Amino acid sequence: METKNLSKISLFILAAILANGCASSGVRNPSGVPVTEMKADERGFVAGTGVESQDLVAVTDKMARSILNVRQIANAQGTPRIVLDPVVNETRFPINKTLFLDKIRISLNSKSQSKVSFLARDRMDALEKERRLKQAGQVTSSSDPNVVEFKGADFFLTGKLQGMTTKTAAGTSDYILYSFQLIDARTSDIVWEDSAEIKKQGLEDAAYR
Amino acid sequence: MKCIRWPIILAMSLFLVGCESTRYVPGKPLTGDPLIDGQNAIESGPPKDRVLWQYRTAVVAMRRGQFSEAKRLLDDALARIGNVLGKDPSARKARGYFSPEAKKTFIGEPYERVMAYYYRGILYWMDGEPDNARACFRSAALEDSGTADKKYSSDYVLLDYLDGLASLKLGGDGSDAFKRAEAEARLSHPPTADAKANVLVFVEFGQGPTKYAMGENAELLMFRAGVSSARAAQVLVDQKTYQLRPYDDLYFQATTRGGRVMDHILANKAGFKRTTDVVGDVGLVSGLVLATRKDTQVAGLGVAAAGLLSKIASASTRPEADIRSWDNLPLFLTFAALELAPGPHTVTVDFLDEGSRLLGGQSKIITINVPDAPADKVVYVSDKSSTPQTQ
């Protein structure tokens, strides 16, 4: 009888030790999660309400497809030349501004089959330096370096990100409007404009409130 | 067979006691250099404290003029706090009865998160990105929203003023932001913004608030007031002196938010602790009394065992508040926007006491090179900055 009671007490103590010792029970992924490769347009498990890769991909793809249908591009005589003007960020999220236009440019270049051409105005310093070297005879040149061959822009492509945020006890909600424009460099006409809007919301754990 | 049963069970118990999901790896020995010690703490310390060490170390780097390092640390920290929405296992554990609040990943109280965005905004403007700087100031203002009393919600003067100034410099309209800044001003009123100002001087001084716990079970989060012998600053450049009064006080910001949701959870934990403690006492005493009588012995032992369980539960309950603090923040924030000719200049920043007397030994000398328009030159100075510096 005594042995039986002793066994019960011991089992109880054992259960207490187990419950106390196994601190990782109930903890999801206690050992972490190995790195997995994802598609850029896929939403990961690490997410906030700001601008993320899947938003960038969705927005820039939409803009690239839309630009190709613009009459001035589709029916252009020759190859229209476009300069990228930095995107203006009016949201509360700091962003890599060049990433948007670079992605649109890359999408356009790959989808347009050379219907449009982009001018590397961000490289002008290096290009002008090269031209000066050629003019000075310090490097060889396959054409007359004194002839101005840098192309002028037919259009400017620019964009703006605007946001609206609401934060209450129920959570945080962010709405972002991505708008892009193609501007005629000669007349300042806005020949194309399109936009995409994304809204996200979430609520942090009570421990952070 | 029976004689080997107990050793096996004991061995299993010991094994499982050792089965911990997180291990603290002892950090490297302290070197006395806060930048190196901070980086070691980030790399080797508990992951839940990583953001705290990133905050602290970023400020040390900024005060030494090592802005690239500060950028790197703040970007990592802000990425963490920006993705705090949704399920968080460490936060869930921190809400549990048997884990302290300090179990959660540190992201800081709102005034600490504000400062992380504020510093990152300064660094973006330094890099010629006023729109991204403005984005940081806006995110900072959002971190200060949701106060119990709406009049203290998003009430940092500098955040709204800088929002408006960035908009003005970007060719936009900052008037709404300037109006908000003016309405929020308590310590001093910000100057009229000048779009031609091309040198932005961010100054801070004093020792910011730190946290401590009060209450029977240390469940009440309190803030120790910051201290500052300096009450104002002045900037001397090109034989002109510009007076700087503080616009924001971090102790005021820390203490005017009202309660947290977590305070209610900690109060519940403290209540549970007290109740189970009392139940445990009653159970043990009455159980032992009953156990002295032969006819109630078994029941008495059962009640005593339940009382013991309750005492264990009470002892294991952890209602103490998280008092981890970003403890090298300043107390006061101020700012000046100057118009200087392009080229080299020497800027001297002095700190003044309550009587506008110069505080000896605290002057900072910064050599700057003002770029051609339209770029701005951004200067950051703390009363704890190293001197001289070239920025």
Q: Is B341 helix (H, G, I), strand (E, B) or coil?
A: coil
Chain A residue with minimum CA distance to B96: A207
Mutation for testing the A interface, residue in B15, B75, B76, B84 having most A CBs under 10 Å: B84
Chain A residue with minimum CA distance to B167: A90
Which pLDDT value is given to residue A11?
54
A28 touches chain B (CB under 8 A): yes
A53-72 residues touching B, CB cutoff 8 A: none
Name every chain B residue with its beta carbon within 8 A of the beta carbon of A17.
13, 16-17
Which pLDDT value is given to residue B23?
41
Flag if B262 and A204 touch (Cβ within 8 Å). no
pLDDT for residue A157 is more than 80: yes
Q: Of the candidates B127, B112, B124, B199, which has an alpha carbon nearest to the alpha carbon of residue B163?
A: B124
Flag if B261 and A24 touch (Cβ within 8 Å). no
Q: How far apart, in whole angstroms, are the C-alpha atoms of residue B207 and residue B329?
A: 6
Residue from the list B13, B85, B136 with its beta carbon closest to the beta carbon of A94 = B136
Q: What is the pLDDT of residues A22-77, one digit of tens each?
A: 433 444 454 555 565 566 565 665 567 888 888 888 888 888 888 888 888 878 78
A2 touches chain B (CB under 8 A): no
CATH topology of domain A48-139+151-201: Rossmann fold (3.40.50)
Close Cβ partners of B96 (under 8 Å, ≥ 6 residues apart): none
Flag if B135 and A91 touch (Cβ within 8 Å). yes
Q: What is the pLDDT of residues A105-141, one digit of tens each?
A: 888 888 777 788 888 888 888 998 999 999 999 999 8
Which pLDDT value is given to residue B221?
94
Q: Of the candidates B44, B41, B38, B43, which has an alpha carbon nearest to the alpha carbon of residue B58?
A: B38
pLDDT for residue B298 is more than 70: yes
Gap from B91 CA to chain A (nearest CA, Å): 5
Res. B16 pLDDT band, cuts 50 70 90: very low
Instruction: Map out the domains of chain B as residue ranges.
Output: 34-263+321-386, 264-316
Which pLDDT value is given to residue A75?
81
Which pLDDT value is given to residue B11?
44
Residue from the list B20, B85, B107 with its beta carbon closest to the beta carbon of A49 = B85
Q: How far apart, in whole angstroms, are the C-alpha atoms of residue B121 and residue B71?
A: 10
A95 touches chain B (CB under 8 A): yes
Gap from A187 CA to chain B (nearest CA, Å): 22
Flag if A16 and B312 touch (Cβ within 8 Å). yes
Instruction: Map out the domains of chain A as residue ranges.
Output: 48-139+151-201
Name every chain A residue with its beta carbon within 8 A of the beta carbon of B22.
23-24, 30
Mutation for testing the B interface, residue in A6, A205, A209 having most B CBs under 10 Å: A205
A37 touches chain B (CB under 8 A): no
- As to burial, measured by CB atoms within 10 angstroms (0-12 exposed, 13-18 middle, 19+ buried), residue B213 is middle
Q: What is the pLDDT of residues A3-19, one digit of tens each?
A: 455 455 545 554 544 44
Q: Of the candidates A91, A39, A97, A111, which has an alpha carbon nearest to the alpha carbon of residue A198?
A: A91
Which pLDDT value is given to residue A47?
63
Flag if B88 and A209 touch (Cβ within 8 Å). no
Which pLDDT value is given to residue B13?
43
Residue from the list B22, B129, B135 with its beta carbon closest to the beta carbon of A92 = B135
| B103 torsion bin: left (phi>0), alpha (psi -120 to 50), beta (else) | alpha
Name every chain B residue with its beta carbon within 8 A of the beta carbon of A207.
88, 91-92, 94-95, 101, 104, 262, 265
A114 touches chain B (CB under 8 A): no
What is the average pLDDT score of chain B? Answer: 90
Rounded to a whole number, what is the distance in angstroms from the first to the last CA of chain B? 78
pLDDT for residue A195 is more than 70: yes
Q: What is the pLDDT of residues B252-274, one digit of tens each?
A: 999 998 888 899 899 999 999 99
Which pLDDT value is given to residue A41?
60
Provide the Cα torsion B272, B277, B278, B279; round to 10°: 80
Name every chain B residue with its beta carbon within 8 A of the beta carbon of A26.
93
Rounded to a whole number, what is the distance in angstroms from the first to the last CA of chain A? 54
Q: What is the pLDDT of residues B313-364, one digit of tens each?
A: 999 999 999 999 999 999 999 999 999 999 999 999 999 999 999 999 999 9
Interface confidence (ipTM) of the complex: 0.81
Three-class HEC string of B112-149: HHHHHHHHHHHHHHHCCCHHHHHHHHHHHHHHCCCCCC
Flag if A205 and B124 touch (Cβ within 8 Å). no
Flag if A167 and B145 touch (Cβ within 8 Å). yes
Q: ∠ at Cα B208 (B29, B45), nearest 5°? A: 25
Helical spans, DSSP H, in chain B: 2-17, 34-44, 50-63, 67-82, 89-95, 110-126, 130-143, 157-169, 175-184, 250-255, 261-291, 297-316
Name every chain A residue with its beta carbon within 8 A of the beta carbon of B136.
94
Which pLDDT value is given to residue B351?
97
Q: What is the pLDDT of residues B73-114, one digit of tens each?
A: 999 999 988 877 777 888 888 989 999 999 999 999 999 999
